[in-house]
Amino acid sequence: MPRGKESDLAEHTVATREAYRGAFLDVRDDTVRLPDGSAAKREWIRHPGAVMIIPVLDDGDLVMERQYRYPLERDFIEFPAGKIDPGETPLATGQRELFEETGYQGGRWRHLTTVHPVISYSNERIEIYLAEGVVSEGRRALDEGEFLEVFTVGLPQALEWLEQGLITDTKTVIGLLWLDRLRMRRA
């Protein structure tokens, strides 16, 4: 059922304009031609892409973060992640963000998968890396105005939080479930 890029359902751009440009959000307002020839509007956010890291210690525990997320007015438990800077490779973003946010570095890095969190209104993609054997000397380098708590936890405990509804960030949920499948396959 998966198809290539030349889709029979494709929508073709007729006009595109910048609807809003803030410090962080870049909103586009496009007019498209639908498969039946009629016109429609498509509003969407242009995003540079992001990287999420699943950092694993030598004993198998995970490095995670607790961070306040303003749009939802509460803390979230997450894996480290951040936006790709212009000209940066996703691997470099991952290694930079992991060190900045948590102080962990090194280890064996492997690209696991790419996911899309907001397909109806953003072109954001998230590259997910597994980083096994990371180490820390206790320093980190948070951006100004960035506040987050770093902790380590075993996968079974994190999966329990997931099933209790205490971990709900989609990228983090996917990271935990993906890692669980990998470990079951190795076992």
CB nearer to a copy of itself: give 60 or 106. Answer: 60
In 10 A of CB 148, how many CB atoms? Answer: 16
Catalytic, 43? Answer: no
CB nearer to a copy of itself: give 19 or 135. Answer: 19
Please check whether residue 148 is in contact with residue 78, taking contact to mean a CB–CB distance below 8 angstroms.
no
- Can you read off the two tokens belonging to residue 147? 């506040």
Pairing relationship of beta strands 126-132 and 50-56 according to DSSP bridges = parallel
CB of 15 to a copy of itself, least distance (A): 13
Pairing relationship of beta strands 62-69 and 26-33 according to DSSP bridges = unpaired
**Distance, CA of 3 to chain centre:** 25
CB of 175 to a copy of itself, least distance (A): 11
CB of 125 to a copy of itself, least distance (A): 8
Catalytic residue among 144, 146, 149, 160: 144
CB nearer to a copy of itself: give 106 or 169. Answer: 169
Residues with active-site annotation: 144
